Amino acid sequence: MNYAIRRIGQTLPVAALVTVLIFLLIKLLPGDPAAAILGDRASDAAIRALRTKWGLDRPLLEQYAVYMRNLVTGDLGLSLRYQTPVADLLPRRVTVTLFLVVYSMALSLLIAVPLALLAAIHRDRWPDQLVRGLIALPLASPAFWVGILLLIVFALKLRWFPAAGYGEGFLGHLRHLFLPALTLSYAFAAILARNLRSSLIDVQATTYVDFARAKGLAQRAVLFHHVLRAALLPIVTLIGVRLSFAIGGSVVIETVFALPGLGSWMVESIMARDYMVVQTLTLTFALGAMLINLTTDLIYPLLDPRVRME
């Protein structure tokens, strides 16, 4: 419990520092949101009026103070582009990205675990060679390209899945997000399968597995009850690290598949200098990454009794 409180306490100052950095970085960017929104043809007076209205002409420190005060009271500010409170837009976007990331994690596991088992059981024989070959391929192909390829095959030729959008209802989301989730997961599935394979092989070589076999336990029982469970442990850390990456990777995937998630929103908001949105999203990403790290740290002792002992 102490450990948990200490870990959470360490996280808070980092979060505060993140807000300062984010605020300054965005202000350092050249380009003006008023000009970006009004375009080449707007009059100077119109741009000046908009800057005044949005408070962009006030001193930096004052802008930061206002931002922090609002943040603490739960006011995330107004999206300059959409003239809508950021807090109103955020929930749907978060849902889409979370759905995508969790979905892709589930797919990664569904792909990786059977492959790794197959390879580990038939170590150095042809199924193993095949799997190892298969694993190398996705690591060498970029996500946006694979995304387009999947679209051509499954959306255009076979028409099994829709080409774009988030869909409606839970089943609709499952269907619409299948291709993007697959695109996001295939590379990770490869990494996962490779790690799990070697982890399985290591565990199979331990003495307690020999002992279980010597006791006369069925091969299946040994594999699922003793080997797989132990081999999955290092994978938890890997998943934690990968989750943060997946949120970043969603930037590309969401643009290709026209998903209204955090990633695509981030890119557009940066281009439009939609300050409040960029600030909120960067903070969300940063807090998300910190939360994932924290969760991984907290889960690990639950899975491995040896960590708890320390």
Partner 1 sequence: MRTLRLVLAFVIVAGMLVAGFSPGASNAAGMKQVIKFGVNRAAENLDPVTQDANPDIWAFMQIYQQLVRVNIKGDGFDPDLAERWSTSADGKTWTFFLRKNARFSNGDGVKASDVVWSLKRARDTKGPWQWALEPVQDITAKDDYTVVIALKEAWGPFLADISLFSNSILPEKVFKDAKAEDFANKPVGSGPFMLVEWKKGEELVMKANPYYHEKGLPKTQELRIRYIPDDNARIIAVQSGEVDGIDYPPFSRVNELKKDPKLDMQLNPSTAVAHLSLNNRVAPFNNVKFRLALAHATDRAAIVKAVCFGYCTPGTTFLPMTTPFFNKSSKGNAFDLTKARQLLKESGVKTPITIKLLFRSNDAVHQPTAVTLRAMWAKIGVNLELEPLDRATATKRYRANEFQVYVTGWTNDIPDPAQLAAYELGFTESESYHSGYQSKAMDALLAKGLREVNVEKRRQIYYQIQDLALRDSPIIWLYYAPYTITINKKMKGFVQMATGPWIFKNVTVSE
Does residue 33 interact with partner 1 by CB under 8 A? yes
Candidates 11-19, 231-239, 261-269, 300-308: pick the segment binding partner 1 (CB under 8 A): 261-269
- Which of 8, 12, 42, 60 binds partner 1 (CB under 8 A)? It is 42
Does residue 40 interact with partner 1 by CB under 8 A? yes
Q: Rounded to the nearest whole angstrom, what is the least distance from the CB of residue 9 to partner 1 in the complex?
A: 37
For residues 50 and 155, give the distance between their C-alpha atoms in angstroms, rounded to a whole number. 43
Residue 79: its H or E element: strand 78-79
Are 154 and 182 in contact, with CB atoms under 8 Å apart?
no
Question: How far is residue 209 from each of residues 47, 142, 194, measured CA to CA in Å?
Answer: 72, 39, 21
In this complex, which beta carbon is closest to partner 1, that of residue 260 or of residue 301?
260
CB atoms within 10 A of CB 126: 8
Residues 6+ apart with CB under 8 A from 153: none
Task: Pick the closest to residue 257 from 171, 111, 159, 149 (CA basis).
Answer: 149
Does residue 251 interact with partner 1 by CB under 8 A? no
Does residue 2 interact with partner 1 by CB under 8 A? no
In this complex, which beta carbon is closest to partner 1, that of residue 158 or of residue 214?
158
Are 186 and 111 in contact, with CB atoms under 8 Å apart?
yes
Does residue 55 interact with partner 1 by CB under 8 A? no
Binding site for partner 1 (CB under 8 A): 29-33, 35-47, 49, 78-79, 81-84, 89, 92, 110, 114, 117, 148, 151-152, 155-156, 159-166, 168, 171-172, 174-175, 178, 220, 224, 255-258, 260, 264-265, 268, 271-273
